Structure 1
């Protein structure tokens, strides 16, 4: 069975409304069990549930078999009204996942979800990334924080923006970008998604241009990551502003028919470790 939500959008002005939409779970698929996970070792894993699919024991198994795990907080703190399925949020400390926090590599939350996380506590244990729509995102770690700029866009549908952001962030880190550059890539894909209704479609030539810019940025950073300590991996590297401008230019490219575009991910665990360990 496929999970299905109904989204109810408010007509209130953005300045006064508490949230973009009210979600109601109509039906949901069966949870993912630890036994459903492969008996292998992986460089990284992503826990991105939306309707209670990820159980605490399943996340624990993921943490056992993956070097680094990226988690969307909605997988951990969403609960559902027993009558009409309305989505509500509970504090991370009150969930069954809190004890796993020190083992998580990156925890992503929206600005609406962040108060339920206790960012000041969570940042002691893992990197926390909070997305905030037109204001971009903020990356928190135990010793500091950095604001990452957004990309101008007209929001028509926020559905899937968090998934696109997390996908861009992870792709950037796996490609070897510094955390601020990878978060910028996440902002880029999030901005593309909110500008479309429903499942987003990404232009082929634009994707190729972005891939080229990421590779160029990666080449600029070669030799730097190995010499950096953990603190410096979170500081905006030289050329960060130019990388933002290059991605912005790619977004303005003329469109062409949509096709698939594959990212060449590194096969070396060392390459992944350099890119995504905080």
Structure 2
């Protein structure tokens, strides 16, 4: 990224190591993290973007990413272990990377995405992003996630985090239904656009004035990992095209649907990209 000063989209969040269940009862070890999934969308769509991330000395996927992370000596890469055997997905973390400091944000951008997987985008870095980008979109998982004593992921209440005071700096906040239950939805939508993803039911876009229900694209789900990340990238792509919110959400649903049909970071066929709303 040497010599660059700006890009259309700045992606801020760490890559990680995912351990996902395979169909035969084993496990698949693969590149993960929101930055990886989001980059797959932007690469497929030809979006000018850059990634700011850090990782540990054990990062094993430098040859699979266009923008390698900054390696922090003496640390490990965030590692998620996913369990889909129960009614709801259970995530555990057995290693956690360092945070991304504000001085790592050296780019101006039309849009910046705060897509942390485990709290690696602190409030001061989010503020720095808002100073360098026209719009900031954030994934609620990076604001809410915490760990219990067994390393299981759970969501804090948004009002109990320092990010509650920063909602005015966001253009869009994306949240899953579970994450939306950890916030005062009316208070959030009064300050920013809140987009709640609902899996096979599509998504809901909430602004201070309107509530929009946008249906999903029917597909056969194989692995839900990364669907929200691809959704956020698709929504960003719509914003870059200056589309209205409902159309951005429709495009976001399409990318999220493509993600669940594959295990790991998806290979996307943009020749099938919907150009016009249904």
TM exceeding 0.5 = yes
SS of 2:225's equivalent?
coil
Q: 2:247 corresponds to which residue?
A: 181
Which structure shows the higher strand fraction? Answer: 2
Tell me whether 1:201 sits opposite 2:267 in the alignment.
yes
Distance 1:41 1:161 in 2: 27
SS of 1:51's equivalent?
coil
| Change in 2 beyond 3 A, CA 1:50/1:102 | same
Tell me whether 1:43 sits opposite 2:110 in the alignment.
yes
Tell me whether 1:122 sits opposite 2:188 in the alignment.
yes
Of the three residues 140, 154, 157, the one matched with 1:91 is 157
Distance 2:221 2:161 in 1: 32
Of the three residues 101, 111, 124, the one matched with 2:177 is 111
Which structure shows the higher helix fraction? Answer: 1
TM superposition outliers: structure 1 runs of 4+ over 4 Å? none
Distance 2:242 2:204 in 1: 20
Tell me whether 1:34 sits opposite 2:102 in the alignment.
yes
Q: 1:70 corresponds to which residue?
A: 137
Deviations 1:27-73 (A, max 9, x none): 122100011110x4322100000011111111111112211100000
SS of 2:175's equivalent?
strand
The TM-score normalised by the length of structure 1 is: 0.70
Deviations 1:56-113 (A, max 9, x none): 11111111221110000001000112x3321111111001111101121000001111
SS of 1:125's equivalent?
coil
Distance 1:61 1:160 in 2: 26
Distance 1:86 1:96 in 2: 22
Distance 1:97 1:177 in 2: 28
SS of 2:162's equivalent?
coil
Q: 2:127 corresponds to which residue?
A: 60
Which segments of 5 or more consecutive residues in structure 2 lack a partner in the other structure?
Answer: 1-55, 57-76
Deviation at 1:209, TM superposition (A): 4.1
| Higher RCO by CA contacts (8 Å cutoff, separation 6 or greater) | 2
Count, aligned residues: 203
Q: 1:172 corresponds to which residue?
A: 238
Larger C-alpha radius of gyration, 1 or 2? Answer: 1
Tell me whether 1:22 sits opposite 2:70 in the alignment.
no
